[in-house]
Chains A and B, each alone.
Chain A
Amino acid sequence: MNLPKYLNIMTAALKVSNLKKTYKNGTVALKGLNLEVEAGEIFALLGPNGAGKSTLIGIISSLVTASSGDVEVFGDNLTKQRNKVKSHIGLVPQEFNFNMFEKPMDILVNQAGYYGVPRKTAIQRAEKYLKQLQLWDKRKSMSRMLSGGMKRRLMIARAMMNEPKLLILDEPTAGVDIEIRRSMWEFVEEIANAGTTIILTTHYLEEAEQLCKNVAIINHGEIIKNTTIKQLLTTLDIETFILDLDKKPEADLLKALNAEVTDENSIQIDVPKSKALNESIKTIDEMGYKVLSMRNKVNRLEELFYKMTQEQKNEGE
């Protein structure tokens, strides 16, 4: 059906088809990746180290050349209309990539200039985003002097200078304290509400949980799961706890709980979501031990990756 463009609300913000990338040294980073991100959403791209997230982002933002495949951003083809695609995108890369000897204000105004934003408008915009990202006081400091979290926020402000339709954030909250992280979440939600589509990679599951509706998990250069975050979290049905006891656990306790020793006085137990933790604690109590403290074993995301990559391996066998 040929709908007029203004009715075509289903235009995807990003459409990646069969994207492949082999680096010059022979590393295969993407193996025919397919992905679609709807306009207007905050989309999480998750995956373990080396999965290919930054490579994918690099290709979309013209920093890496694809070996083959197609990328469309808001219906514009990357290879055929590269400059148009570039003008849709704002990029916050994983690694710092600004001139450490320049001032934040100059970095922002110059970036806008590269997009053709006249200097006067650029200065106003820079002021707006420096203030929103709490960097206004630092506008005239040498960027080298900013803290890690400030540097990251500077890159977010820089990515906003062309008021992009698609903002790509590659681990924006790495090395950022809790307070700033929360204020960054607020900022991201704010600009998403204003209509910007956002793609986010992160190693914090809470972050994806907090911000995103849909997620894709990428591993070894392929999407292994593309679903809603809710759906994803239900697959996490076992939680692992570490309990610190008042004395060295004997074999009978370990057997009763099906636990492993992790440390002199600590044990690790797997508890399915369907089962209450009370039972285990009760057993421990009955056998004459005290639980001094308790914590979750791993970051849930790691657990998730581990599970999925295991599944992927099993399927492959």
Chain B
Amino acid sequence: MKGNNLVALYTLCRKEIVRILRIWSQTILPPAITMTLYFVIFGNLIGSRIGQMGGFDYMAFIVPGLVMMSVITNSYGNIVSSFFGAKFSKHIEEMMVSPMPNWVILFGHVLGALARGLMVGGIVTIISLFFTQIQVHNYWIVISTVVLTSVVFALGGFINACLANKFDDIAIIPAFILTPLTYLGGVFYSISLLPDFWQTVSKFNPVLYMVNAFRYGFLGVSDVSLTVAYSIILTFVVVLTAICLYMLNKGIGLRS
């Protein structure tokens, strides 16, 4: 990698992280509050009546799911608001006039989204310690699934930001696609509770694989096969990266 590109990448990442910290009351605090509420309500109040799920305390079962949910929404949200914001107020032109290659623009923003995902995920994990004990079955699986999932949704958010023309356009996908997919992706329940038909339907939901692989890293149980999970996640990473780079090269949504 050329020195120039490395400097540009560092600059971009640093700028993204400074942004996250500067507006922490929009980026860090809200997810921390929401997730605390989830822990109190689902974990403590309702969870105590549910008893066991997948062989574990309900609280212990949903912690990985909720961490993953916050990683997904925050990675996606970060890149969408940062990149669409840059497009909207035109400071994206600062990047476009510079000789920084497109892959650096993409990678820099993805790393920013990953940073936000991990920051929030970390905070949610810490909060969960007030409610339950966490065991880790396999660190590698925990780390790799969280990083890869964050990247997948960062890439998705990037595409959304490129195609969006108004603020509504960046609210639609999270509301109508992201939220349903995560809620139905086994965050709150094991799909073994579902009738056969819905189990089959659930298996078309990619978030299910991410949540379950991540949960396996903690608890050592999963509704799906890890190999299938990793294959799906990696396929998404590759395909979405290709789409993002194609859009950047063509200037889709960026150059008139």
A contact residues vs B (CB 8 Å cutoff) = 23-24, 58, 61-65, 82-84, 86-87, 89, 91, 93, 95-101, 106-107, 109-111, 113-119, 158, 162
Contact = CB atoms under 8 A, between A and B. Distances in A.
Contacts of B53: none
B95 interface: yes
B86 interface: yes
B211 to A, nearest CB: 35
* Chain B interface SS verdict (over half): helix
Contact of A99 (B10, B11, B91, B255): B91
26 contacts: A23-B256, A58-B256, A61-B97, A62-B96, A63-B255, A64-B256, A83-B101, A84-B99, A86-B97, A87-B99, A91-B97, A98-B91, A98-B94, A101-B22, A107-B94, A109-B11, A110-B15, A113-B7, A114-B11, A114-B99, A115-B4, A115-B8, A115-B98, A115-B100, A116-B4, A116-B5
Contacts of B95: 114
Interface extent on B, as a size class? Answer: 20 to 34
A93 B93 contact: yes
Contacts of A96: 90
Given A116-B7, A116-B8, A63 B96 contact: yes
A101 B255 CA distance: 24
Interface string B223-256: 0000000000000000000000000000100011
A98 B90 CA distance: 7
Given A65-B251, A65-B255, A86-B98, A118 B7 contact: yes
A64 B100 CA distance: 17
A114 B93 contact: no
Contacts of B89: 97, 99-100
B55 interface: no
B151 interface: no
Given A91-B93, A97-B93, 11 more contacts: A62-B96, A63-B93, A64-B255, A64-B256, A86-B97, A86-B98, A97-B91, A110-B94, A113-B8, A114-B8, A114-B99
